[in-house]
Chain A
Amino acid sequence: MNLSAQDLTVAGRLADLSLTLAPGRITAICGPNGAGKSTLLEALAGLLTPDSGAVLTDDSPLAALPPRERGKLLGYLPQAHEIAWDVPVRSLVELGRLPHGDSLVGPVDAALAALDIAHLADRRAQSLSGGETARVLLARVLAGEPRWILADEPLAALDIGHQLALLRHLRAAADAGAGVVLVLHDLAHAMNHADRVVVLDRGAVAADDVPSAALAPAIVRRVWGVECDWLGDPGARALVAR
Chain B
Amino acid sequence: MNRAVAIFAALLALALPLSLLAGRVWLDPAGTPNAAVILAELRLPRAVLAIIVGAGLGASGAAMQGYLRNPLADPGLFGIAPGAALGAVVALWFGYTVSPWLLPLFALIGAGGAMALLAAIAGRTGGIALFTLAGLMVASLAGALTALAISMAPNAFAMSEIVMWLNGALTDRSWREVWIAAPLVALGVLLLWRSGRSLDALTLGEPVARSLGVNPAALLWLLIAGVGLTVGAGVAVAGIIGFVGLIVPHLVRPLTDRRPSQLILPSALAGALLVLVADCVVRILPLVTELRLGIALSLLGAPFFLWLLLRMRRGLA
Contacts and interface: CB of A to CB of B under 8 A. Distances in A.
Interface of A: 42, 45-47, 66-72, 74-78, 80, 82-88, 91-92, 95-96, 98-99, 124, 137, 140, 144
B176 interface: no
B211 interface: yes
Contact of A68 (B204, B213, B258, B260): B213
Contact of B205 (A69, A82, A92, A96): A82
Nearest to B68: A84
A137 B208 CA distance: 10
B213 A137 contact: no
Question: Which are the 8 A-B pairs with shortest beta-carbon distances?
Answer: A71-B213, A76-B211, A68-B213, A84-B69, A82-B205, A67-B213, A99-B213, A98-B212
A71 B203 contact: no
A67 to B, nearest CB: 4
9 contacts: A45-B211, A67-B210, A78-B207, A84-B203, A88-B257, A95-B204, A98-B213, A137-B204, A144-B212
Given A68-B213, A71-B213, A78 B257 contact: no
Contacts of B202: 84
A95 B197 CA distance: 9
B228 to A, nearest CB: 24
Nearest to A99: B213
Interface string B210-229: 11111100000000000000
A199 to B, nearest CB: 24
Interface in B198-250: 200-205, 207-208, 210-215
Interface residues of B, number: 21
Contacts of B215: 67
Contact of A87 (B208, B210, B212, B259): B259
A111 B203 CA distance: 19
Contacts of B208: 76-78, 82
Contacts of A82: 204-205, 208
B18 to A, nearest CB: 34
Binding site of A, secondary structure by majority: helix, strand, loop or mixed? mixed
Contacts of B213: 66-72, 98-99
Contacts of A86: 258
Given A67-B213, A71-B211, A98 B197 contact: yes
Contacts of A67: 210, 213-215
Contact of B211 (A75, A85, A137): A75
A99 B259 contact: no
Given A85-B258, A85-B260, A87-B258, A99 B212 contact: yes
A98 B212 CA distance: 6
Contacts of A84: 69, 202-205
B200 A95 contact: yes
Given A84-B69, A84-B202, A98-B201, A91 B211 contact: no
Contacts of B201: 95, 98
A3 B205 CA distance: 25
Contacts of A77: 208
Given A47-B211, A82-B205, 9 more contacts: A84-B69, A87-B259, A91-B259, A92-B204, A95-B200, A95-B203, A98-B197, A98-B201, A124-B258
Most buried by A among B200, B202, B204, B260: B204
B212 A83 contact: no
B261 to A, nearest CB: 9
B207 A42 contact: yes
Contacts of A80: 205
B200 A76 contact: no
B61 to A, nearest CB: 15
A45 B214 CA distance: 13
A124 B210 CA distance: 24
Contact of A140 (B197, B204, B258): B204
Contacts of B214: 67, 98
A124 B253 CA distance: 14
Contact of A83 (B204, B210, B260): B204
